[in-house]
Amino acid sequence: MKRRDFVGLTGLAAGALFLPSLPGFGHTPVDPARLLEPGADVAVKKRLADAALNAAKAAGADYADVRIGRSLNQYVFTREKQVQNIVSTESYGVGIRVLVAGCWGFASTSVVTEANLAATAREAVSIAKANKLVMKEPVQLAPQTGYGEVNWKTPIQQSAFEVPIKQKVDLLLAANAAALDAGASYINSALFQVNEQKYFASTDGSYIDQDIHRLWPTFSATAVDTKSGKFRSRESLSAPVGLGFEYLTPNAAEQVRGPQGTDTIGYKLRYDMLADAALAGKQAKAKLTMKSVVPGKYDLVLDPGHLGLTIHESVGHPTELDRVLGYEANFAGTSFATLDWKAKNLPYGSKAVNIVADKLQPGSVGNVGYDDEGVKTREWDLIKEGKLVNYQKIRDQAHIVGQKESDGCAYAQSWEDVQFQRMPNVSLRPGTAKMSPDEMVKGVDKGIYIAGAGSFSIDQQRFNFQFGGQLFFAIEKGKITEPLEDVAYQSNTQEFWGACAGSCDASDYRLFGTFFDGKGQPAQVSSVSHGSATTRFNGVNVINTARKV
């Protein structure tokens, strides 16, 4: 966050005496009971949207879309034996985007009346007309048929907002206790709960009502050895999910044991926070005395909770078409995977690499019925048998690669931000032959098994990267031998994916994710999941990160 960001200066921060994190600007703190109240009725929203669309058309717009957004958040923060903060917030308003003679205009407002939405639509039109003076490339919008009045809801069993706060606090404090009992000196835990109530309407004739839910329980356990002055942390192995509170009901069928000798457990669509916290406390303490890795080339066996972040950085970002074209050059960067590079038909990875984009996977945080410009979501291939076959694109980008329709991956973080191309779920397809993580380890002579995401860094064109992790185990002659510390691997995207020797089968498939993927100026965050099964990469360069200060 920039120091001049006024979010940091409001009383929200001033009141932050005990607050480790704060709601964003425009989010009003509310009584938790408010989170259970329904938003405006669909008929009301349609009337409001029509007022804006009609005003935009009357003012000269060739196309217009309206997003009426009600965003509800609740965050619970604890450390050790105490609650640090509980924040419940609501944000409500409307964003209107118009296209006038090939130029975009956008305006937003929190005063949700028919008259004001019409005025805001006219403002958006006047901004488009002003921007037209410096326009060089007129927008070409892929055609989109209207869907009429439709709706979509995240398939959840229980809204997290319906669960009493006490139950959530008790769960976090019990997890903290489990970690402390098992050896942690400190623990911070949090529960993020999000409900986006989105209504989209456009001059194409779509009126789309969506009720989107996301949840993220997480913690960081730290062990301190005062005598040696050493400290080590172990983060939770949970994932942010597009599920309700049911994610927090443990289910053995949704758990995957790591290779024999690793004492790790991975989670699918149900998470056992207490078990993971207890393991984290034990492992954080054990990290204080683990053997430091000998640098060199190793075959890596990467657990899905780790590999998801590597997929995100080395495949997710370089295949965003706006990055490829240079629109993010001053902030997020560009991409090695340019249109010219793709035309050469060079390998992105080995034949075992099949990577798919989607906004459909149940339980993923990218899962919605329609994107933020009213396009029904879908699945499409990005990499097939190691070759780049497609990019991620939205309505005004489809024509650039000769595609007739959008991929349905436009997103805006709130009603007050303009929608643009954002990463869908980007996932590595599991292997088709039957293989378990144990069987995969058996075939490795000298390697390292890595679980959980750690430090991550990649260059602005997505060539050179370095990743850490949470837990590392040496593999010798087909067996896990001992845990390791101070491990990070450095590679190059094409070299790394070229060294991919295959994945375990679908029974090992799990999702990694984040709530905070950043892009754009002013920056917007977005939620994204990445699925994979445990996967092997041969001969990767591992460095030792221990230093003395």
Partner 1 sequence: MAILSKDEAQTILKKVLSFSTADECEATLTGNTGGNVRSARNSISTAGAAENVALAVQARFGKRSGTATCNEFDEASLRRCVQRAEEIARLAPESPEYVPLLGPQTYLASPGSFAARTAAITPDYRAEQIGASMALCEQKKLSSAGFFNDSAGFVAKRNSKGLEAYQQVSSVDFSITVRTADGTGSGYAIANYTDLAKFDAARLTRVAADKAASSVGAKAIEPGKYTVILEPAAAIDLLNNMMGAMDARNADEGRSFLSKKGGGNKKGEKVFDERVTIYSDPTNAEVPDLTFANDGRPQQKVTWVEKGIVKNLYTSRYWAQKSGVPDIPPPNGWIMAGGTLSTAELIKGTAKGILVTRLYYIRAVDPQTLLYTGLTRDGTFYIENGVIKFPVKNFRFNESPVIMLNNLEALGKPVRLNGSLVPPLKIRDFTFTSLSDAV
Phi/psi at 171 (5° precision): -65, -45
Complex with partner 1: residue 60 or 333, whichever CB lies closer = 333
Segment interacting with partner 1 (CB under 8 A) among 363-371, 400-408, 450-458, 499-507:
450-458
Instruction: Mark the segment that binds partner 1 (CB under 8 A) among 44-52, 129-137, 359-367, 471-479.
Output: 129-137
Q: Which residues of 421-432 are buried (b: 16+ CB within 10 A; e: fewer)?
A: bbbbbbbbbbbe
For the segment 3-62, give every residue that binds partner 1 (CB under 8 A): 3-4, 6, 8-18, 25, 28-32
Largest CA distance in the chain: 74
Chosen residue from 42, 101, 115, 130 binding partner 1 by CB under 8 A? 130
Interface residues for partner 1 in 411-440 (CB under 8 A)? 418
DSSP-H helix ranges across 344-478: 437-442
Q: Which stretch binds partner 1 (CB under 8 A): 80-88, 189-197, 242-250, 272-280?
A: 80-88
Query: Which residue matches tokens 């996301």?
Result: 214
In the complex, minimum distance from the CB of residue 458 to partner 1, in angstroms, rounded to a whole number: 6
Q: Is omega for the bond preceding 217 within 30 degrees of 0, making it cis?
A: no
Which of 458, 471, 474, 499: binder of partner 1 (CB under 8 A)?
458
Q: What string marks each residue from 138 to 177 as x (binds partner 1 by CB under 8 A) or -? A: -------------------------------x--------
Residue pair 61/123 in contact by the 8 Å Cβ criterion: no
Shortest reach from residue 425's CB to partner 1, in Å: 22
Cα separation, 502 vs 432, in Å, equals: 10
For partner 1, the binding residue among 116, 158, 185, 403 (CB under 8 A) is 185
Which residue(s) pair with 451 in the sheet?
471
Based on DSSP, count helices (H) and strands (E) in the chain, helices before strands: 10, 28
Return d(Cα 536, Cα 545) in angstroms, integer: 22
- What is the rounded CA–CA span in Å between residue 223 and residue 233? 6
Contact 7, 22 (CB under 8 A): yes
Residue 507 neighbours by CB under 8 Å, 6+ apart: 436, 533
Which position among 1, 2, 38, 345 is part of the footprint of partner 1 (CB under 8 A)? 2
What is the pairing mode between strands 63-79 and 186-202? antiparallel
Contact between 357 and 380 (Cβ < 8 Å): yes
Residues 222-241 that bind partner 1 (CB under 8 A): 222, 224-233
Let me know if 363 is exposed, middle or buried by CB neighbors in 10 A (0-12, 13-18, 19+): buried
Closer residue to partner 1 (CB): 28 or 151: 28
Span of 139-147, 217-225, 389-397, 529-537 interacting with partner 1 by CB under 8 A: 217-225
Should residue 518 be labelled a site residue for partner 1 when binding is judged by CB under 8 A? Answer: no
Size of the site for partner 1 (CB under 8 A): 85
Q: Is residue 471 a contact partner of residue 283, using CB atoms and an 8 Å limit?
A: yes
Element (H, E) at 42: helix 42-58
Among 46, 463, 498, 505, which residue sits at the site for partner 1 (rule: CB under 8 A)?
463
d(CA 545, CA 3): 30
Least distance in Å: CB of 1 to partner 1? 12
Interface region with partner 1, contact rule CB under 8 A, candidates 175-183, 203-211, 374-382, 538-546 = 538-546
Minimum CB–partner distance for residue 488 and partner 1 (Å):
6
Strands 535-544 and 500-503: antiparallel
Toward partner 1, which CB reaches closer, 130 or 506? Answer: 130
The answer to whether the Cα torsion of 104, 109, 113, 115 is positive or negative is negative
Should residue 186 be labelled a site residue for partner 1 when binding is judged by CB under 8 A? yes
488 binds partner 1 (CB under 8 A): yes
Contact range with partner 1 by CB under 8 A, out of 114-122, 126-134, 266-274, 444-452: 126-134
Q: Which of residues 288-347 bind partner 1 (CB under 8 A)?
A: 325-331, 333-334, 336, 338
| Segment 96 to 125, residues that bind partner 1, using CB under 8 A | 106, 110
Q: Enumerate the H helices of 136-272 as residue ranges.
A: 165-182
Member of 374, 386, 468, 502 binding partner 1 (CB under 8 A): 468
| 175 versus 212: smaller Cβ distance to partner 1 | 175
The one among 38, 148, 404, 548 contacting partner 1 by CB under 8 A = 548
Q: Which region, judged by CB under 8 A, interacts with partner 1, from 50-58, 395-403, 427-435, 541-549? A: 541-549
Q: Which is nearer to partner 1, 106 or 509 (CB)?
A: 106
